[in-house]
Amino acid sequence: MSRGGGKGLSLKDKLDGNELDLSLCDLNEVPVRELAALPKATVLDLSCNNLVSLPSDFCSLMHLVKLDLSKNRLQQLPLDFGRLVNLQHLDLLNNRLVTLPVSFAQLKNLKWLDLKDNPLDPVLAKVAGDCLDESQCKQAAVKVLQHMKAIQSEQDRQRQRKLQAEREMEKRREAEQRAKEAQERELRKREKAEEKERRRREYDAQKAAKQEMEKKTKKETVHTRKPASSSRPPQPPRHKPSWSRSVLRVLLFVLFCILCTLAACKLTELQHQPLCVSVNTLYEDVVAALQNHKTLQNMLQHNSQQ
């Protein structure tokens, strides 16, 4: 451990029986590790130094019985200062303390306390009173402990009330969530039932329409059904042979024969035969008659026009 000026410091050299005097050492911080290695030092004097705060591990020095922190610049004590349960004598004279940590109420063995010359909270200052003699310092320890226990109890009640309020709020949220989930389940159940009912109605409507269509088709089939004798497909009418068609066929055959004979008599060497001569003469006479007939028609037509 070093002073504020940097010179070496041996704690064992300062130890006198169970008393360790570190006052007027110009300390800026407490050598907690070295102090923890000296559990015999139950009386510790850290007065008249430059301490602004105590480290949190200072509260591990539970072997301390008497502690002098007077005439420093302490603005607050560690929150777990109450861990120093063996502490009986505490001097905090002339520091800059305004309040004490709530854990101060756990110093059940504290018998002597000096809080003079600190800018204490008015309520705390009134409770502590003056520490001008042994009796007043003992009364200060008792009254401050009672005051801090009352504060601790009130804080515990507030904490319990806050915890209870948070639990009730959580219960309300859980109840609201359960109600919401139940409502959503009921809504889904109702929607599902409505969907089933809608599909059932659609199925019934489709079934009824199908039945109606089958009935209609059946009625139409009954009305359009014919007797078994007429159910056969109509046979094409059979045409009876007529005499006119036979005569026409004969005439066409005769005409074909005449044309063939005329062609043979005109175009082949048979034209000099007696039969062909007669045929050719007959053909020429017919042609001349037709021409005369055509000339006569033209003349008659010409006269009629005039």
Question: Over the Cα atoms of the chain, what is R_g?
Answer: 70
pLDDT at 71 over 90: yes
The Cβ of residue 262 has, within 10 Å, a number of other Cβ atoms equal to 15
Please indicate whether residue 16 or residue 232 has the higher confidence score (pLDDT).
16
Mean pLDDT of the chain: 85
Predicted pLDDT at 285: 80
| 201-222: average pLDDT | 86
Distance CA 259, CA 106 (A): 155
Distance CA 177, CA 81 (A): 44
| 172-185: average pLDDT | 92
pLDDT at 185 over 50: yes
Predicted pLDDT at 303: 60
Predicted pLDDT at 222: 78
Please choose, from the candidates 80, 72, 68, 67, the residue with its C-alpha nearest in 3D space to the C-alpha of residue 97: 72
Domains and CATH numbers, the chain: 12-155 (3.80.10.10)
Long-range own/partner contacts, residues 210-216 (CB < 8 A, 24 or more apart):
none
Distance CA 198, CA 204 (A): 10
Predicted pLDDT at 245: 79
Predicted pLDDT at 40: 94
Predicted pLDDT at 4: 42
Predicted pLDDT at 87: 97
Residues 41 and 19: beta-carbon distance below 8 Å:
yes
Token couple for 108: 């059940």
Distance CA 178, CA 241 (A): 101
Amino acid at 222: V
The Cβ of residue 302 has, within 10 Å, a number of other Cβ atoms equal to 9
**What are 102-135's pLDDT values in tens digits?**
999 999 999 999 999 999 999 999 999 989 999 9
- The three-state (H, E, C) secondary structure of the chain, written as one string: CECCCCCECCHHHHEECCEEECCCCCCCCCCHHHHHCCCCCCEEECCCCCCCCCCHHHHHCCCCCEEECCCCCCCCCCCCHHHCCCCCEEECCCCCCCCCCHHHHHCCCCCEEECCCCCCCHHHHHHHCCCCCHHHHHHHHHHHHHHHHHHHHHHHHHHHHHHHHHHHHHHHHHHHHHHHHHHHHHHHHHHHHHHHHHHHHHHHHHHHHHHHHHHHHHHHHHHHCCCHHHCCCCCCCCCCCCHHHHHHHHHHHHHHHHHHHHHHHHHCHHHHCHHHHHHHHHHHHHHHHHHHHHHHHHHHHHHHHC
**122, 154, 155 from 150: Cα distances, Å:** 16, 6, 8
